[in-house]
Amino acid sequence: MRIRNILDGSIPIIIFILVWESIARWHIVPEYIFPSFLAVMGEFYHLTVNGVLLNNLASSLFRVLAGFLLGSVAGIMMGTVMGCRQIINRSFNPIFSLLYPIPTLGWAPLLMIWIGINEMLPIILIFLCSFFPVLYNTITGIRSVDSDVIKAAKTLGASDRKIMTSVILPLAVPNIFTGLRLEAGMAWRVVIAAEMVAIPTGIGALLIRSESLLRVDIIIVCLMVLSVMCLVFERVFQYIETKMTKEWR
């Protein structure tokens, strides 16, 4: 069944590649504008071997991991406090409600002036893009825990801290991971955009340099890498979530 599913999913991809390769080989469009699939794969190999792709990927990956980790940890911690303490929720909710709708890249000009164009810029942008969704998903997760389950833990002798670590947070995991999974992909989109406009290294910077050199093959390689990275991040979180909750959900 699993092999059948993989086959079913692969067929449209194979057809897509065949159509792409055929159109490129008919030379309806000049090759520098529409390179063939094999030419793109050749360039992928070339960029991998000479280290250009891996160096840029490593720069982007570091920024994504740093920003995402900081944003997620802050979002989970703040969300936990806001989910549990009404007074903190009432105090912070208005300001977070005002800040959340601002598109992440909208912060870029302000941050460029405040902190300059350096390594911190994409990290802070990714922090902002990760923080709010994880915050709200954590609050939702904590609020959705059945109050009788919490009361049951209390009657059994659990302290508030123990209830938090042994009941509330484990039961909020599915919601927290929904936020993390969605934002993992978004973090990659933000880092690419930041690198395209401001940072000279990373996949986004390689993309924008390739555009100025009319290297469509490299642009496509970068887009493919981006797509794979988003997918890998999402799948990793899905895997961890399933591992943590499949027995009881």
Residues that bind other proteins in the complex, under the rule CB under 8 A: 146, 148-149, 151-159, 162, 166-167, 170-171, 245, 247-249
The least CB distance from residue 248 to other proteins, in Å, is 5
| Contact predicate 139/89, CB 8 Å | yes
Nearer to other proteins, 149 or 231 (CB): 149
The least CB distance from residue 243 to other proteins, in Å, is 13
Nearer to other proteins, 19 or 152 (CB): 152
Nearer to other proteins, 5 or 155 (CB): 155
| Contact predicate 59/208, CB 8 Å | no
Task: Give the separation between CA 166 and CA 148, rounded to whole angstroms.
Answer: 15
The least CB distance from residue 137 to other proteins, in Å, is 18
Nearer to other proteins, 24 or 167 (CB): 167
Nearer to other proteins, 145 or 191 (CB): 145
Indicate the SS3 state at residue 247: coil
Residue 222: alpha-carbon gap to chain centroid? 16
Task: Give the separation between CA 245 and CA 171, rounded to whole angstroms.
Answer: 9
| Contact predicate 31/39, CB 8 Å | yes
Residue 214: Cβ within 10 Å count: 10
Here the tokens at position 50 are 């000479």
Nearer to other proteins, 147 or 212 (CB): 147
Q: For 55, what's the count of Cα atoms within 13 Å in the CB-facing half-sphere?
A: 9
The least CB distance from residue 173 to other proteins, in Å, is 8
The least CB distance from residue 249 to other proteins, in Å, is 7
The least CB distance from residue 161 to other proteins, in Å, is 10
N- to C-terminal Cα distance for the chain? 23
